[in-house]
């Protein structure tokens, strides 16, 4: 079965294809990216291996030629390679390890009906947004920031409500169902008290009104409370490792009831999770935790179906948001959709909507499950594994209030590059070294473009963070400022390379995958310790800016790493830092403290240098700068 079942042959947007960078350029950049992160003797070995790979008539040339042929033949040569490598072959559980969440503004619901009214508007908003997607009527987006103005690929939107990720023993499959836009029926799955219900939202081509959805949701909450009809918490199975869930799914499908229930979930638009109150103070950090894992089986962890791309959570305590399977689209698309829905919910329903009479609709159907003793055992095992993940996640949502991107722009620096350098400084303060870092860079300037990696731990960043932390070198403010500008310049240049298709990670992956397809022995360059280490992203970062008060977060991608998602605003920056308690090498609170210190130190450095420049002197600035802690 192909990994992605979708015809991607058309190119209605007329966008260029993702390029294949020149081989020598990628190999040179690779060496530059790793040289300062590994020991000199390791680097010498790596350099020799890379040179052999790239030599005239070497393996690299053969693979590059094949990749260029692939580029000619396909719409996007890297899409399937990347999708498989980044998501589908990853065996880790989706919650925390892979699925990002968008935490919506905290709500204050008067009572359950108020919460259900919010949920009804949300679903109505989904229907309206889906209609815009189907009609290809969403406004086309254009790049902002670096290389602003270029038209962006809108393809990812079409997968928001049509995708489903099937678990597999070795690799998952992402299926995209392209129903006719004029589909006569659509349904949403509603999860309530770990029970699942089919809510028909379009019947006989007519979407349900908000009042009708509300009335159906009220029926669902009442049915969910019926103890006699209660099924075991089947959703917990989807929170497990992908191979474990694939095995469990095989067992489930032996029963007809289960096959039918799975079919209905797999064909839904989205899942609406009506959550019980989480029982914790609704701080930003606690809301992020509840959204990421539902608080485990004891709370709302089983009130989910993780394979489905979009799961909206409406908690009775006002904790709301959306969590998504990351494989069909990027966070930016999730963000746009979330903002649309948030505005829709906050808007005033039209008079026509308020006065519309509600149809008498049949009650929503409860999904039926057949549970054998074996399945009972699987449910218990999945529940335990989710609980371990819940206990392990160390999350810290930190709002840095001293300045935001306007201050950074005034320094004539790229805000994104500045924040990346600050993250490097924070990591260095905690660990005394830099590590392989991932920053997602959008490739939506290209046909079906997804992302590539900006390797932010540059040599220039290392020189800067050393100058800020090593008292012995006693750099002057002017020297530190020069190093800061060099680091930001290097970061900005890498960003521009990445968004124009000239980064190295996708290219190296393509060369590796091509060697596999040719049944070649794994080339030495990809067996090298340096290569393996350079793909362990101890720092996994991403910018997710929003125009409304909401924030995105996710977990670390390696056991000893950090996830760091940030949302730059004009006068503040929200950072969501995650790590695992089980690692003795990480602590989100310690990282956040270092980040705060570093951001203040950089601000003071900018201030000190500006002051000297304004005073027209050079002598003042030659004094070592004192850190503010």
Q: Is 149 in the site for ligand COA (CB under 6 A)?
A: no
Q: Between 89 and 146, whose beta carbon lies closer to ligand COA?
A: 146
d(CA 367, CA 627): 61
Candidate list 160, 198, 289, 499; residue touching ligand COA; CB under 6 A: 499
Q: Is 21 in the site for ligand COA (CB under 6 A)?
A: no
Rule CB under 6 A: say whether 563 interacts with ligand COA: no
Q: Which residues contact 421 (CB under 8 A, 6 or more apart)?
A: 456, 461, 464, 465, 484, 487, 488, 491, 602
Backbone CA torsion sign across 317, 320, 325, 331: negative
Local structure of residue 551 (DSSP, 8 states): E
Question: C-beta of 366: minimal distance to ligand COA in Å?
Answer: 35
Which lies closer to ligand COA via its Cβ, residue 192 or residue 332?
332
Candidates 451, 468, 504, 574; binder of ligand COA (CB under 6 A) is 451
Residues 503-542, mask of contacts with ligand COA (x by CB under 6 A): ---------------------------------------x
Let me know: does 86 contact 7? Beta carbons within 8 Å: no
Q: How far is CA 63 from the centre of its chain?
A: 31
CB nearer to ligand COA: pick between 109 and 551: 551
453 binds ligand COA (CB under 6 A): no
Least CB distance from residue 499 to ligand COA, whole Å? 5
What residue is closest to ligand COA based on CB?
145
Could you give phi then psi for residue 464, rounded to 5 degrees? -65, -50
CB-nearer residue toward ligand COA: 27 or 413 = 413
Euclidean distance between CA atoms 37 and 437, whole angstroms: 11
Q: Is the CB of 24 or the CB of 410 nearer to ligand COA?
A: 410
Among 332, 457, 462, 490, binds ligand COA (CB under 6 A): 332
Q: Is residue 437 within the footprint of ligand COA (CB under 6 A)?
A: no
Say whether residue 320 binds ligand COA (CB under 6 A): no
Task: Give the nearest distance from C-beta 152 to ligand COA in angstroms.
Answer: 10
- The contacts of residue 132 (CB under 8 Å, 6+ apart) are 138
**Binding of ligand COA by 144 (CB under 6 A):** yes
Strand ranges (E), 120-256: 163-166, 173-176, 186-192, 195-203, 206-207
3-state DSSP of 429-480: HHHCCCCCEEEEEECCCCCCCCEEEECCCCHHHHHHHHHHHCHHHCCEHHHH
The reply to whether 572 belongs to the active site is no
Q: Report the alpha-carbon distance of residue 553 to residue 564 in Å, rounded.
A: 8
Closest CB to ligand COA among residues 132, 147: 147
Tell me if 145 contacts ligand COA by CB under 6 A: yes
Candidate residues 54, 331, 523, 621; the one interacting with ligand COA per rule CB under 6 A: 331
Tokens of 248: 């469990």
Place of tokens 């007809």: 256
Name the minimum Å distance from CB 107 to ligand COA.
Answer: 25
Min dist CB 537 to ligand COA, Å, is 13
Q: Of the listed 187, 293, 326, 507, which one is catalytic?
A: 326
3-state SS class at 203: strand
The Cα–Cα gap between 190 and 274 comes to 7
Q: How far apart are CA 520 and CA 506, in angstroms?
A: 19
578 binding ligand COA? (CB under 6 A)? no
* 602 contacts ligand COA (rule: CB under 6 A): no
Per CB under 6 A, the segment of 44-52, 54-62, 355-363, 438-446 that binds ligand COA is: 438-446
94 binds ligand COA (CB under 6 A): no
Choose which of 413, 602, 606, 609 interacts with ligand COA (CB under 6 A): 413
3-state secondary structure 268-316: CCCEEEEECCCCCCCCHHHHHHHHHHCCCCCCCCCCCCCCECEEEEEEC
Query: Could you tell me the end-to-end alpha-carbon distance of the chain, in angstroms, rounded to an integer?
Result: 56
> 264 vs 496, which CB is nearer to ligand COA?
496
Say how far apart CA 403 and CA 463 lie, in whole Å: 24
Nearest to 153 by CA among 144, 162, 161, 143: 143
| Using rule CB under 6 A, residue 606 touches ligand COA | no
Q: Which helix (H) or strand (E) holds 347?
A: none
Contact call for residue 420 and ligand COA (CB under 6 A): no
Question: Among 440, 467, 578, 579, which residue interacts with ligand COA (rule: CB under 6 A)?
Answer: 440
Q: What residues pair up with 542 in beta bridges, in sequence order? A: 565
Q: How far is the CB of 409 from ligand COA (least distance, A)?
A: 4
Provide, rounded to whole angstroms, the least separation between the CB of residue 540 and ligand COA. Answer: 10
Binding footprint of ligand COA on the chain (CB under 6 A): 144-146, 330-332, 409, 412-416, 440-442, 451, 495, 499, 542-544
Q: What positions carry a catalytic annotation?
A: 326
């Amino acid at each position: 079965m192909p990994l992605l079942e979708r015809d991607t042959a058309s190119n209605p947007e007329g966008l260029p294809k993702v390029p294949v960078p020149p081989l020598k350029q990628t190999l040179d950049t690779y060496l530059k990216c790793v040289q300062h992160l590994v020991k000199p003797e390791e680097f010498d070995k790596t350099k020799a291996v890379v040179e052999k790979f790239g030599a005239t008539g070497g393996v690299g040339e053969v693979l590059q030629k094949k990749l260029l042929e692939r580029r000619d033949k396909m719409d996007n040569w890297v899409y399937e390679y990347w999708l498989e490598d980044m998501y589908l072959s990853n065996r880790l559980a989706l919650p925390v390890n892979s699925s990002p969440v968008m935490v919506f503004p905290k709500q204050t619901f008067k009572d359950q009906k108020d919460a259900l009214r919010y949920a009804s508007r949300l679903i109505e908003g989904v229907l309206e947004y889906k209609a815009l997607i189907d009609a290809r009527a969403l406004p086309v987006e254009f790049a902002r920031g670096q290389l602003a103005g270029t038209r962006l690929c809108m393809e990812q939107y079409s997968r928001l409500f049509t995708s489903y990720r099937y678990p597999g023993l070795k690799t998952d499959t992402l299926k995209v169902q392209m129903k006719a836009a004029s589909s006569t029926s659509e349904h949403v799955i509603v999860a309530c008290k770990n029970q699942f219900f089919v809510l028909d939202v379009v019947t006989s081509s007519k979407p349900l009104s908000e009042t009708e959805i509300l009335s159906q949701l009220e029926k669902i909450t009442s049915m969910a409370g019926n103890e006699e009809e209660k099924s075991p918490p089947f959703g917990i199975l989807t929170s497990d490792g992908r191979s474990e869930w694939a095995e469990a799914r095989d067992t489930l499908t032996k029963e007809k009831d289960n096959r039918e229930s799975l079919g209905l979930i797999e064909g839904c638009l989205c899942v609406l999770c009506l959550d019980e109150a989480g029982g914790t103070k609704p701080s930003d950090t606690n809301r992020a935790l509840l959204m990421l894992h539902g608080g485990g089986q004891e709370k709302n962890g089983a009130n989910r179906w993780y394979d489905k791309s979009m799961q909206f959570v409406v908690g009775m305590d006002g904790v709301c948001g959306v969590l998504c399977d990351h494989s069909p689209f990027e966070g930016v698309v999730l963000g746009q959709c979330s903002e649309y829905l948030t505005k829709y919910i906050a808007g005033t329903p039209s008079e026509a909507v308020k006065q519309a009479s509600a149809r008498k609709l049949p009650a929503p159907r409860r999904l039926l499950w057949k549970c054998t003793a074996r399945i009972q055992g699987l449910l218990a095992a999945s529940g335990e594994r989710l609980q371990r993940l819940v206990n392990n996640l160390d999350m810290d949502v930190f709002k840095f209030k001293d300045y935001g991107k306007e201050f950074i722009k005034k320094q004539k620096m790229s805000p994104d590059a500045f924040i990346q350098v600050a993250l490097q400084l924070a990591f260095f303060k905690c660990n005394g070294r830099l590590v392989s870092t991932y920053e997602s860079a959008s490739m939506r300037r290209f046909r079906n473009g997804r992302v590539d990696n900006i390797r932010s731990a540059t040599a220039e960043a290392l020189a800067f963070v050393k100058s800020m932390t090593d008292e012995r070198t006693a750099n002057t403010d002017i020297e530190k400022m020069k190093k800061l500008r060099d680091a930001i310049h290097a970061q900005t240049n890498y960003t521009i390379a990445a968004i124009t298709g000239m980064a190295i990670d996708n290219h190296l992956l393509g060369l590796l995958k091509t060697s596999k397809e040719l049944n070649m022995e794994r080339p030495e360059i990809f067996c090298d310790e340096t290569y393996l280490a350079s793909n362990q992203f101890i720092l996994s970062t991403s910018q997710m800016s929003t125009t409304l008060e909401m924030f995105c977060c996710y977990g670390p991608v390696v056991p000893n790493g950090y996830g760091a998602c940030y949302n730059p605003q004009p006068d503040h920056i929200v950072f969501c830092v995650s790590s695992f308690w089980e690692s003795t090498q990480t602590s989100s609170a310690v990282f956040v403290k270092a980040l705060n210190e570093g951001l203040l130190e950089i601000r003071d450095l900018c201030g000190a240098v500006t002051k000297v420049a304004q005073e027209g002197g050079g002598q003042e600035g030659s004094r070592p700068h004192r850190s503010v802690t």
